[in-house]
Structure 1
Amino acid sequence: MPAKKRDFFYNKAKQMGYRSRASFKLQYINERYEIIKEGDTVVDLGAAPGGWLQVAKEISGGTVIGVDLQKIEPIEGVTTIKGDMTAPATQEKIFALVDRVDAVICDAAPNVSGNWALDHGRSIDLGKVALDVAAKLLSPGGNFVVKIFQGDMYDMYLNLVRKNFAFVTSYKSEASRKQSAEIYVIGKGFLTAPVKKGQVMEVVIEDVGKSGDGIARVEDFVIFVKDARKGQKAKIKIDDVKEKFAFAKVLSE
C-alpha cells in the first residue's frame, strides 16, 4: 500500500472533503496563533490545489483570494487568480478586488530536486518573494504565515520577517510528515512604521517620558530612546519596533 494511503491526515482530508492534508496544518496554526479571524480578507499565495483556501474560507467567512500559476478548481465563495504572484499585473488584480488584506498565507514549496542545499535555497527564495508580496498587500497590523525548509539560511530569513512584524515565531505542525523539514514562519502585527529594526539614524530628543527614556519622533512615530536627555542630538540604533512605537539606544552624540 502506498505510504500516503496509510497516512492519517491524508485519509482524514479525503473523508472531510479537503483537497489536501495541508488543510489541517492551517487549522492547527490558526488555533494556536489566530492568523485569520472571522470577517478577515485573506490572500493565499501559491494556493493550488486549494486546501488552505477551503480552511481560510471556513474560518473567515469573508473575502478569500487564491493566487497560483496553476488553475485552481472552483471553491464556493472563493475568488481565484491564475498568474505569477510576483507580477505587478497579478497584484493589481488583487487590489482590484479588495482595498485591504488582513492575512497573507503561503504554503507553496519549490520543485524538489533532491539536492538539499539547492532545495533549501529555493525555499528561502520563495519565502522572500512571499514576504515581499505580503508587505505590499497587508493592512497595518495584518498577519502572515509562510512555509520554508529548515537549513543554514533559516535564521537569516527569520530576521527578515522580524523587521516587518511585531511578533514573529516558527511552528512545526503535527500534521507535517515526520520526515519533513518544513517549518512555518508566522508574523503577526504588520509594521508600517517609518523605521526598521537595526536602523541607525540621527534624531533630536524632544521630551522625556515617565519611564525616564527620551522621546524622539519620525513622521509623528514615537521612538523611546534609553538614557537620553531632552534636547540631545544623538545617533541612535533601533532595537525593537512595535505597531505604534519603537525602542532605541544611543550610539553617539
Structure 2
Amino acid sequence: MISVVGFRIMPRKKRDVFYNKAKQMGYRSRAAFKLKFINEKFGIIKAGDVVVDLGAAPGGWLQVAKELSGGTVIGVDLQKIEPIEGVITIKGDMTSPETQQKIFEKVEKVNVVICDAAPNLTGNWALDHARSIDLAKTALDVASRLLVPGGNFLVKVFQGDLYQGFVEEAEKRFSRVYTYKSPASRAQSAEIYVIGKGFLTTKIRKGDVLDVTIEGIGKGGDGIARVDGFIIFVKGAKKGGRVKIRVTDVKPEFGFGKAEK
C-alpha cells in the first residue's frame, strides 16, 4: 500500500465500482456490465437467441448472455472455462473447422456472436493496436461462418490507425453498424465496441448499380426484381421493364433501389 498525506491509496481494482459490483453480484468479471450496457442500448441479444461467445474466458459475458437470452449459450476459448450453469463451453481454437463443427453439433443456428477478447499486451501501442484489429477481424470472419441471415455481432477493438478500416469491413457484412464506448469501460481505456446488426448473406451492397428486370409489383406498389434470388424493391418501376437501378438500402432478406436517371 502507498500512503499520501495520511490517506491510504487503494489499488485500482479496489476503487473500481464495477469491479466491486461484479464481485457482489457473482459475475466473473467487471466486463459483465459492459455487455449489459451495450445490450440495453442496441438490443443485440433477445430472449431465445442462440449466442456464441468467442474468447469467452473467464465467463463474465457468458453469465450475462445466459441471463439475456435464456436460450443456448456457447463459450469458446483456448483456456478452460469453469462451468456455468446452463452454458456450454468448448475448449479450442475459434478459427478451426473442428471447433466450429462442435458448435453446430450443439445447435442448428447461431443468432448472435460476441467477442470481448483482447491480445496479450506488450506495451508497444502500435503493435497492441494491430493485434487487436487482427483478433477482431478473426472474430468477424468466424461470425460470418456461424451467423444466420439477420444475426448480430459484437466485438471489442482498440482505437488507432487501423480502426476505421475494420469498421468499414464490418459495414460490408451487416445492414447496420454502430460503434460504442460502454460506460463500464475505464475512461482511460482505448477500447471501443463495434456492433453489427442484420448479417447479410447477399453480395449486393448499398450503392451498387445493377441492371434488373421488374418481375412483378409488390403490395406497396414498388417493382420487384431478383438478383441471384435476392429480392430488390424498386420504387415506381413497372412490371416487365428492364431498368438500371442504384441500391439504396440492403436488409438481410431484401433490398431497396431506385431507377438511375
Normalization by structure 2: what TM-score? Answer: 0.86
Which residue in the other structure is 2:51 paired with? 42
Which residue in the other structure is 2:163 paired with? 154
* Residues 217, 223 of structure 1: 8 Å contact kept: yes
Identity %: 69
Which residue in the other structure is 1:175 paired with? 184
Read off the aligned partner of 2:16 and give its amino acid letter.
Answer: D
In structure 2, what is the Cα distance between the partners aligned to 1:113 and 1:250?
53
- 2:110 is the counterpart of 1:101: yes
Question: For structure 1, which segment, 197-206 or 128-137, has the greater mean C-alpha deviation from structure 2 after superposition?
Answer: 197-206
In structure 2, what is the Cα distance between the partners aligned to 1:150 and 1:238?
31
Instruction: Summarize the Cα distance change of 1:16–1:141 in structure 2 as closer, same or farther, 3 Å threshold.
Output: same
Instruction: Summarize the Cα distance change of 1:121–1:249 in structure 2 as closer, same or farther, 3 Å threshold.
Output: farther
Q: 1:177 aligns to what SS in structure 2?
A: coil
| 1:193-223 CA-partner distances (Å, limit 9, x unpaired) | 3523455655445467799976531133222
Displacement of 1:238 = 4.1
Structure 2 spans left out of the alignment, 5+ residues: 1-9
- 2:68 is the counterpart of 1:53: no
Number of positions where the alignment pairs a residue of Structure 1 with one of Structure 2: 251
In structure 1, what is the Cα distance between the partners aligned to 2:260 and 2:177?
26
Instruction: Summarize the Cα distance change of 1:155–1:228 in structure 2 as closer, same or farther, 3 Å threshold.
Output: farther
Which residue in the other structure is 1:231 paired with? 241
Read off the aligned partner of 1:74 and give its amino acid letter.
Answer: P
Which residue in the other structure is 1:10 paired with? 19
Q: Which has the larger radius of gyration?
A: 2
Equivalences for 1:104-183 in 2 at 5 Å? 104-183=113-192
Which residue in the other structure is 1:217 paired with? 226
In structure 2, what is the Cα distance between the partners aligned to 1:151 and 1:249?
37
Question: For structure 1, which segment, 43-52 or 106-115, has the greater mean C-alpha deviation from structure 2 after superposition?
Answer: 106-115
| 1:17-36 CA-partner distances (Å, limit 9, x unpaired) | 11100000001111111111
In structure 2, what is the Cα distance between the partners aligned to 1:96 and 1:211?
42
* Residues 25, 174 of structure 1: 8 Å contact kept: yes
Match for 2:204 among 195, 203, 207?
A: 195
Normalization by structure 1: what TM-score? Answer: 0.89
* Residues 72, 80 of structure 1: 8 Å contact kept: yes
Displacement of 1:228 = 7.1
Which residue in the other structure is 1:244 paired with? 253
Read off the aligned partner of 2:87 and give its amino acid letter.
Answer: V
Structure 1 spans left out of the alignment, 5+ residues: none
In structure 1, what is the Cα distance between the partners aligned to 2:235 and 2:197?
26
Instruction: Summarize the Cα distance change of 1:200–1:69 in structure 2 as closer, same or farther, 3 Å threshold.
Output: farther
Read off the aligned partner of 2:13 and give its amino acid letter.
Answer: K
Instruction: Summarize the Cα distance change of 1:39–1:224 in structure 2 as closer, same or farther, 3 Å threshold.
Output: closer
Match for 2:101 among 63, 75, 92?
A: 92
In structure 1, what is the Cα distance between the partners aligned to 2:206 and 2:120?
33
Read off the aligned partner of 2:108 and give its amino acid letter.
Answer: D
Read off the aligned partner of 1:132 and give its amino acid letter.
Answer: D
Q: 1:73 aligns to what SS in structure 2?
A: coil
Which residue in the other structure is 2:6 paired with? none
In structure 2, what is the Cα distance between the partners aligned to 1:168 and 1:211?
28
Displacement of 1:249 = 6.3
Read off the aligned partner of 1:37 and give its amino acid letter.
Answer: K
Instruction: Summarize the Cα distance change of 1:122–1:238 in structure 2 as closer, same or farther, 3 Å threshold.
Output: farther
Q: 1:114 aligns to what SS in structure 2?
A: coil
In structure 1, what is the Cα distance between the partners aligned to 2:70 and 2:222?
44
